[in-house]
Amino acid sequence: MIADLNNNVRYLQIAFNDDLRMALRIIPAIPQSDRILIEAGTPFIKLEGMNGIRTIRRLWPGHLVADMKVVDGALGEVEMAHRAGATAITILGNAPTESHNLFIRRCEELNMLSMIDLIGVDDPLKVLRPLRRSPDIVVIHRGRDEENTRGKVIEYRQVTRIRSKYDTLISAAGGVDLREARSAIFNGANIVVANIVNPEDGWTGIHTTDDIAAIAHQFLETIS
């Protein structure tokens, strides 16, 4: 059985947003660790579907995040991801409160981690206050299209506000490299999300040309 996440441990989430061929090549090089989660990113899922998640599950025994960014039809999407082998799933913060409540309840029933992604949300508490139960994880997310916009940062100032009222883990995503990972942990995040990226694409993350095992170990040391 895959262990629950521990609030006193810091985790690395490695996200795949390209095709299955990249995942098949890179995942075997990632060190097996209870502190590493693998993410099937939204573009990956749109391209490869549930079969992509099933294939990653065969490669990776630990936590597998389906970045579905659920907006509606929460019950069906949670069940779909669960059948494919995901142990965690995301819903957009901007989804209706009714969807959030159904989503969190079904995740609990299926022993999945519920993750609310706050991309595009200015005030997390407006999302969290109406909920019957808090999610397992809140994702503070600077979108990929925002990475190169001057002044757009990961909103770490929200960590204390969320933590003061809710018993939930905090994940930081959006252009995370080793330096940003260090900042995320310093500001109270439990999980840092690093994308696997092609060097020519210009995005920040772990390059496909890097020594993946060595970089993963560097991240784990940095966030310890």
Q: What is the mean pLDDT of the chain?
A: 94
> What percentage of residues in the chain have a pLDDT greater than 70?
96
Residue 98 has pLDDT above 90, yes or no: yes
| CATH classification of the domain holding 31 | 3.20.20.70
Mean per-residue pLDDT, 181-202: 94
Q: Do the domain assignments include residue 2? A: no
> Residue 151 — very low, low, confident or very high, per pLDDT cuts 50/70/90?
low
pLDDT at 57: 98
Residue 3 lies in a domain: no
3-state DSSP helix/strand/coil % of the chain, to nearest 5 = 40, 20, 40
What is the per-residue burial (b if ≥16 Cβ within 10 Å, else e) of 171-182?
bbbbbbbbebbe
Predicted confidence at residue 202, as pLDDT, reads: 81
Q: Is the residue at 55 inside a domain?
A: yes
Domain for residue 140, yes or no? yes
Q: Does residue 75 lie in a domain region? A: yes
Domain count, the chain: 1
Residue 6 inside a domain? The answer is no
Query: Which of 67, 51, 58 has the alpha carbon at shortest distance from 15?
Result: 67
- Can you give the pLDDT at residue 142? 81
* Predicted local confidence at residue 148, as pLDDT: 66
Q: Which domain holds residue 41?
A: 11-223
Prediction pTM value: 0.95
pLDDT at 149 over 90: no
Q: Reduced to 3 states, what is the DSSP secondary structure of residue 13?
A: strand
